[in-house]
Amino acid sequence: MPSRATDAVQKFDSSRAAEYGEQSRIALAGYDACHELAACMLAARLGSGGAASILVAGAGGTGQEVLTAARLEPGWTFTAVDPSPEMLALTSAQVAQAGLSGRVRSVPGYVADLDPLERFDAATLIGVLHHLPGEADKAALLAGIAARLPAGAPLILACNYRPYASQPLLLKAWGERWRMQGADAATVAAKLGRIQQGAEPPASEQVVADLLGEAGFEAPLRFFSSLFWGAWIACRRAPD
Ligand SMILES: C[S@@+](CC[C@H](N)C(=O)[O-])C[C@H]1O[C@@H](n2cnc3c(N)ncnc32)[C@H](O)[C@@H]1O
């Protein structure tokens, strides 16, 4: 039985998870639609009604990838990997609240820390790539995922894919979205400053396709986009 201290931690995580989820849904217009379509794309590729093991890389935060896909496909199980124990704890709180803990293995750490012989039927990498500095780190993460997928297995990749300064109108519209949701001028300015100080997103959709190709994936198919954000499905190429 959970102790009172554990209960308190879970309540704290749940309220932080709710706040994080609210912010994520403002920052990405269509957040829920993107996650729903990601699950639908996986089911369309893998087939519905069966068992499948899904690698969820960068799973910390809302845990939405897991919640949405688990609801659609009761036979799927998930390995949720994230280097931030705090972010992973937020996801675990959501997973527990949804009664899904038995279907989710949480792994604090990096994809590279997983058993190199372990294979998954599919993987997701949502909201992570544009936070990584430089192309080498991005390429290494994609290669680590590719190494754990058999030929034909799908990856759902979603990230911002244009440098923010390259599209001033999109950036301004992103600020307007925060204002639309009630943020005052100082908060909007702070949000705009913060997003531009982070790591650079891939420079274009072509760069995303090149990164995926070099990691061992077939050409990606985009199924969602919203301002700077895109979401694609790409299948693992058969080895040469
Ligand atoms: C913005 S959150 C994404 C949350 C979630 N996937 C979603 O869609 O809401 C980015 C997450 O990526 C994680 N992360 C950072 N570097 C990573 C890496 N090299 N491999 C896997 N996850 C990473 C962070 O710890 C953080 O939890």
How is 187-215 classified by DSSP, letter by letter?
HHHHHHHHHHHSPPPPSSHHHHHHHHHHH
Axis crossing angle, helix 4-27 with helix 85-97, rounded to the nearest 10: 100
CA distance 162 to 166: 7
Q: Is residue 105 part of a domain?
A: yes
Q: Is residue 190 part of a domain?
A: no
The pTM score is 0.93
Backbone angles phi, psi at 199, to 5 degrees: -65, 155
Q: Is residue 81 part of a domain?
A: yes
Q: Is residue 54 part of a domain?
A: yes
Q: Is residue 11 part of a domain?
A: yes
Mean pLDDT of 79-90: 95
Q: Look up the CATH number of the domain holding residue 149.
A: 3.40.50.150
Q: Which two tokens stand for residue 91?
A: 């996801």
Q: Which of 131, 132, 138, 157 to mutate to test the pocket of ligand 1 (most atoms within 8 A of CB)?
A: 131
Closest atom of ligand 1 relative to the 20 alpha carbon: 9
Overall domain count for the chain = 1
- Please give the pLDDT value at position 123: 98
Which stretch of DSSP H or E encloses residue 141?
helix 134-146
Report whether residue 25 contacts ligand 1, using a CB cutoff of 6 Å: no
Contact 48, 73 (CB under 8 A): yes
The answer to whether residue 125 scores a pLDDT higher than 60 is yes
- Please give the pLDDT value at position 232: 98
Q: Is residue 206 part of a domain?
A: yes
Centre of ligand 1 from the C-alpha of residue 87, in Å: 8
The answer to whether residue 17 scores a pLDDT higher than 80 is no
Q: Is residue 148 part of a domain?
A: yes
Mean pLDDT of 194-217: 94
The CA distances from residue 92 to 1, 9, 15, 82, 120, in Å, are: 17, 11, 13, 11, 20
Centre of ligand 1 from the C-alpha of residue 168, in Å: 26
Q: Which two tokens stand for residue 135?
A: 């192309």
Domain with 117, as residue range(s), is 4-163+200-235
Q: Is residue 189 part of a domain?
A: no
